[in-house]
């Protein structure tokens, strides 16, 4: 069950038209590709995708899920938006509420285990390993956790564990943490227990229908066996424009922490059909990711160009992320910036600043910077 | 209802030394970085909503079948119609002039008989162009022709292109070679489906012939007309044309003509990441495909997918196919490097502008 309804408010213009999981990332990907590819690479063939905010582009991008091998008999990508019932209509309120309202889907699947995921995180994980740990320990619920620096622990949901990684305590954003194992919001439930817990939670008048805030503390109090599954490695949740920009540019360099080229665990995507990209005779490119359909005639340094980006003659793109179809006209400069899908910087115009104290310059989809 | 079905003859032999196809059928020869020759005819069909396409296969069809799969990329995984892989005959492999062998068409009559569309668009996989087949079928329909042969002006003298002699658009003769400026046949025609079936029955006795060789004697009776195509097109019938066609793509005008936004050239997609440019690389005038990793120098070249150019390596005026690694300090110039090869560190492979070096697997 993939929670993909979030708005990603702090991503500002990037999520004005599009749900956060559908935001373009890393040149040819969208954020949800990472989790869907994890599913595909973990041999999961049924994924329910819970959507709510600005769903059209997300729905059309996921489609039947064929790009992630989900178009399988007996499996599939099921898109699960909120729906009206005889009792009325309302929105998903809280992570557990979204799952609760799709209990029918879970009952229909009749799976033994349910994996709950967020559609807006970037990492590579073989969920089959996590499931194996869950089964071997005979756990009721397994929570994926990672070590965070102690000083950052107060920002996370923190799990305290015993010697065998059984969770003994859970504290949401503790002021004085006694552990630095942060929950990644990735859960494996025994399906029966999940259904029971969701129904019980709905009866609680004070509930916020949140896994971290309500369900997990109650299961702990009931003495259920909660296992912490330790994950080490690259994991990002790009919450803000600055962290989006930083995380994207981390893909550059000689040995990026996240290796897009790891071919035994490919990141799959629903790509558009575009020709190879063209690098013009006067172009200069240094430390960049460049996608199909781009045309580069100017200078590109320490930047990411997504599908179909155009960089004109004598134009400069530095420390920037250009989303699909963005255009930088002749002689324009884009520095320390993010250009939305189909955005244009007119000829000779400078967008962004080299001053590291300045905020990332961001322009939304289809916006034109400079005079027409 | 759809007006036309498509038929692509991939059991096709050129006069030229077949070495330039690097051991593959021409239809699956990698070209322009991420494509195979057959993508062009197939995409043109897909883009005009042809959803029923037969592909006549040569005996060494593995790479074609692998590339086409179920035809999903070209919207050919249909409940009705879709992609049909048709057997081609081994007959003719020694001949090297087969374009549209009558026997191959006769053997696959069932494909034609099971359709109910009025027309068939028949093509080889030997030309590169992006054409509206809708306009082509419109023209065929409007003219009332039995057969419409698509032609282009020959850009040089060719002894392996079929020439067309026409008066007011009516074909009166066919030649086996063309001179610069002649009207050359693009190995693409539209024909009435029932007319084709009749024609094939009439030619059963001469099934070893090319359809147009047989048709040559009947030009008085049959209404065969030309359709002059003025857009960009390139024949790939020999090694020189293969090299020149790849290099022509380095012209942004040619890119715009071949890849308009509303008529994409479709190919099998892979989950390859964007191309990565290292610090200190030098790339100029190059087509670069996804999955490439460039740390050295690339100029005036076309790179296929997943090519690695290591530090200090250089690629100049060359075509590098998918999966090749040019190791540290290696130099490649005026060359074609076949798939998945590694050019060892420090090696130099050089051809000349007039004599391109081909490194085959």
Q: Do A286 and B279 touch (CB under 8 A)?
A: yes
- Using a CB-CB cut-off of 8 Å, the residues of chain A touching B275 are 277, 289-291
Q: Do B284 and A283 touch (CB under 8 A)?
A: yes
Of B101, B193, B186, B187, nearest to B146 (Cα)?
Answer: B193
- Select from B274, B294, B322, B323 the residue whose CB has the most chain A CBs within 10 Å, as the one to mutate to test that interface: B274
Partner residue facing B286 (CB), from A254, A279, A291: A279
Output the pLDDT for position B14. Answer: 78
B127-129 and B147-153 beta bridge pairing: unpaired
Give the CA angle between residues A238, A51, A19 to the nearest 5°: 40
C-alpha B103/C-alpha B26 separation (Å) is 20
Q: Do A285 and B286 touch (CB under 8 A)?
A: no
Looking at the complex, report in whole angstroms how far the Cα of residue A279 sits from the nearest Cα belonging to chain B.
5
Output the pLDDT for position B95. Answer: 53
Reported in sequence order, the residue ranges of B117-212 that DSSP labels E, i.e. its strands, are 119-124, 127-129, 147-153, 163-167, 170-175, 183-192
**In contact, A298 and A315? CB cutoff 8 Å:** yes
Partner residue facing A291 (CB), from B274, B281, B293: B274
Q: Which residues of chain B have pLDDT under 70?
A: 1, 91-98
The pLDDT confidence band at residue A304, using thresholds 50, 70 and 90, is: very high
Output the pLDDT for position A322. Answer: 98
- Using a CB-CB cut-off of 8 Å, the residues of chain A touching B264 are 273-274
**In contact, B219 and B172? CB cutoff 8 Å:** yes
- Using a CB-CB cut-off of 8 Å, the residues of chain B touching A66 are 72
Output the pLDDT for position A11. Answer: 93
Per-residue tokens: B329 = 């300090």
Side-chain-side CA neighbours of A333 within 13 Å: the count stands at 6
C-alpha A183/C-alpha B28 separation (Å) is 50
Residue of A nearest to B249 (CA): A278
Residue A191: CB atoms within 10 A of its CB come to 15
Q: Do A289 and B273 touch (CB under 8 A)?
A: yes
Partner residue facing B271 (CB), from A26, A268, A273: A268
Give the CA angle between residues B125, B50, B252 to the nearest 5°: 55
CB of A324 less than 8 A from some CB of B: no
Residue with tokens 């990684």: A165
Of A346, A372, A350, A347, nearest to A361 (Cα)?
Answer: A350
Q: What is the CA radius of gyration of chain B?
A: 21
Looking at the complex, report in whole angstroms how far the Cα of residue B274 sits from the nearest Cα belonging to chain A.
5
B337: helix, coil or strand?
strand
- Select from A66, A279, A283 the residue whose CB has the most chain B CBs within 10 Å, as the one to mutate to test that interface: A279
C-alpha A235/C-alpha A240 separation (Å) is 15
- Using a CB-CB cut-off of 8 Å, the residues of chain B touching A278 are 250, 252, 255, 286-288
Looking at the complex, report in whole angstroms how far the Cα of residue B33 sits from the nearest Cα belonging to chain A.
6
Partner residue facing A287 (CB), from B266, B278, B282: B278
Q: Do B32 and A276 touch (CB under 8 A)?
A: yes
C-alpha A169/C-alpha A145 separation (Å) is 13
- Select from B128, B271, B315 the residue whose CB has the most chain A CBs within 10 Å, as the one to mutate to test that interface: B271
- Using a CB-CB cut-off of 8 Å, the residues of chain B touching A258 are none
Q: How many CB pairs under 8 A join A and B?
A: 107
- Using a CB-CB cut-off of 8 Å, the residues of chain A touching B340 are none
Residues of chain B with a CB closer than 8 angstroms to some CB in chain A: 32-34, 72-73, 250, 252, 255, 258-259, 264-267, 269, 271, 273-291, 293, 302-303
CB of A36 less than 8 A from some CB of B: no
Q: Do B284 and A295 touch (CB under 8 A)?
A: no
A295-296 and A167-172 beta bridge pairing: unpaired
Residue pLDDT, tens place only, B144-196: 999 999 999 998 898 889 999 999 999 999 999 999 999 999 999 999 999 99
Q: Do A276 and B291 touch (CB under 8 A)?
A: no
CB of A274 less than 8 A from some CB of B: yes
Looking at the DSSP bridge assignments, the partners of residue B188 are B123
Output the pLDDT for position B17. Answer: 73
C-alpha A144/C-alpha A142 separation (Å) is 7
Residue with tokens 């897009």: A260
Q: Do B286 and A26 touch (CB under 8 A)?
A: no
| B258 CB-near residues (< 8 Å, 6+ apart) | A275, B32, B128, B129, B130, B232, B249, B265
- Using a CB-CB cut-off of 8 Å, the residues of chain A touching B290 are 28, 276, 291-292
Reported in sequence order, the residue ranges of A9-75 that DSSP labels E, i.e. its strands, are 24-25, 29-30, 46-50
- Using a CB-CB cut-off of 8 Å, the residues of chain A touching B250 are 278
Q: Do A275 and B265 touch (CB under 8 A)?
A: yes
- Using a CB-CB cut-off of 8 Å, the residues of chain A touching B308 are none
Q: Is the pLDDT of residue A211 over 80?
A: yes
Partner residue facing A295 (CB), from B252, B266, B267: B252
Q: Do A277 and B288 touch (CB under 8 A)?
A: yes
Residue B322 DSSP symbol: T
Looking at the complex, report in whole angstroms how far the Cα of residue A257 sits from the nearest Cα belonging to chain B.
15
Question: Percent of chain A beyond pLDDT 70?
Answer: 100
C-alpha B20/C-alpha B160 separation (Å) is 15
Output the pLDDT for position B174. Answer: 95
C-alpha A368/C-alpha A347 separation (Å) is 11
C-alpha A187/C-alpha A131 separation (Å) is 10
Residue with tokens 């306009």: B135
B258: helix, coil or strand?
helix
Output the pLDDT for position B97. Answer: 57
A143 membership: H or E segment, kind and range: strand A141-147
């Amino acid at each position: 069950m993939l929670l993909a309804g979030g708005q990603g408010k702090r991503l500002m213009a990037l999520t004005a038209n599009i749900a956060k999981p559908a935001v373009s990332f890393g040149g040819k990907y969208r954020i949800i590709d990472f989790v869907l590819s994890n599913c595909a690479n973990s041999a999961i063939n049924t994924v329910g995708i819970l959507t709510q905010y600005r769903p059209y582009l997300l729905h059309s991008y996921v489609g039947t899920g064929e790009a992630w091998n989900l178009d399988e008999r007996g499996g599939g990508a099921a898109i699960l938006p909120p729906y009206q019932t005889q009792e009325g209509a309302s929105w998903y309120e809280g992570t557990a509420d979204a799952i609760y309202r799709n209990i029918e889907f879970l009952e229909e699947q009749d799976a033994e285990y349910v994996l709950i995921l967020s559609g807006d995180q970037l990492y590579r994980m073989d969920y089959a390993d996590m499931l194996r740990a869950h089964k071997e320990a005979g756990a009721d619920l397994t929570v994926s956790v990672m070590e965070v620096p102690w000083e950052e622990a107060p920002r996370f949901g923190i799990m305290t564990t015993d010697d065998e990684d059984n969770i003994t305590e859970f504290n949401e954003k503790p002021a004085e943490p006694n552990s630095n194992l942060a929950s990644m919001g990735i859960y494996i439930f025994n399906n029966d227990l999940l259904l029971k817990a969701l129904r019980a939670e709905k009866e609680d008048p004070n509930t916020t229908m949140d896994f971290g805030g309500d369900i997990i503390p109650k299961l702990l109090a009931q003495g259920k066996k909660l296992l912490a599954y330790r994950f080490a490695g690259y994991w990002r949740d790009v919450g803000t424009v600055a962290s989006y920009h930083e995380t994207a540019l981390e893909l550059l360099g000689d040995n990026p922490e996240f290796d897009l080229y790891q071919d035994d665990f490919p990141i799959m995507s629903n790509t558009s059909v575009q020709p190879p990209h063209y690098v013009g005779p006067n172009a200069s490119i240094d430390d960049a990711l460049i996608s199909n359909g781009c045309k580069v005639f100017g200078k590109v340094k320490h930047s990411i160009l997504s599908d179909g980006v155009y960089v004109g003659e004598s134009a400069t793109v530095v420390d920037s992320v250009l989303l699909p179809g963005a255009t930088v006209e002749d002689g324009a400069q884009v520095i320390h910036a993010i250009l939305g899908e189909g955005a244009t910087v007119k000829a000779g115009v400078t967008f962004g600043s080299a001053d590291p104290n300045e905020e990332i310059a961001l322009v939304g989809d289809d916006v034109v910077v400079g005079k027409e | 209802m759809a007006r036309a079905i498509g038929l692509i003859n991939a059991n096709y032999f050129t006069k030229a030394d077949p070495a330039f196809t690097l051991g593959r059928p021409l239809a699956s020869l990698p070209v322009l970085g991420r494509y195979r020759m057959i993508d062009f005819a197939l995409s043109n069909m897909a883009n005009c909503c042809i959803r029923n396409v037969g592909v006549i296969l040569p005996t060494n069809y593995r790479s074609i079948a692998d590339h086409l799969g179920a035809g999903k990329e070209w919207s050919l995984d249909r409940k009705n119609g879709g992609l049909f892989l048709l057997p081609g005959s081994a007959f003719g492999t020694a001949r090297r002039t087969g374009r549209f062998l009558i026997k191959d068409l006769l053997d696959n009559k069932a494909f034609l008989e099971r359709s109910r569309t009025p027309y068939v668009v028949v093509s080889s996989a030997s030309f590169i162009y992006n054409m509206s087949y809708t306009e082509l079928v419109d023209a065929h329909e409007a003219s009332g022709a039995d057969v419409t042969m698509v032609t282009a002006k020959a850009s040089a003298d060719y002894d392996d292109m079929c020439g067309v002699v026409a008066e007011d658009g009516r074909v009166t003769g066919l030649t086996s070679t063309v001179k610069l400026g002649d009207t050359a046949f693009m190995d693409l025609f539209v024909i009435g489906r029932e007319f084709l079936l009749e024609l094939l029955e009439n030619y059963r006795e001469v099934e070893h012939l090319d359809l147009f060789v047989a048709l040559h004697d009947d030009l008085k009776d049959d209404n065969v007309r030309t359709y002059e195509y003025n857009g960009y097109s390139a024949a790939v019938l020999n090694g020189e044309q293969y090299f020149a066609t790849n290099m022509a793509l380095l012209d942004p005008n040619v890119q715009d003509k071949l890849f308009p936004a509303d008529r994409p050239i479709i190919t099998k997609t892979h989950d390859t990441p964007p191309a990565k440019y290292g610090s200190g690389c030098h790339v100029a005038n190059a087509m670069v495909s996804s999955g490439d990793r460039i740390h050295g120098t690339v100029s005036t070249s076309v790179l296929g997918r997943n090519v690695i150019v290591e530090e200090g390596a250089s690629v100049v005026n060359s075509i590098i196919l998918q999966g090749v690694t040019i190791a540290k300090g290696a130099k490649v110039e005026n060359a074609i490097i076949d798939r998945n090869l590694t050019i060892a560190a420090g090696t130099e492979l050089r051809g000349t502008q007039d004599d391109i070096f081909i490194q085959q697997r």
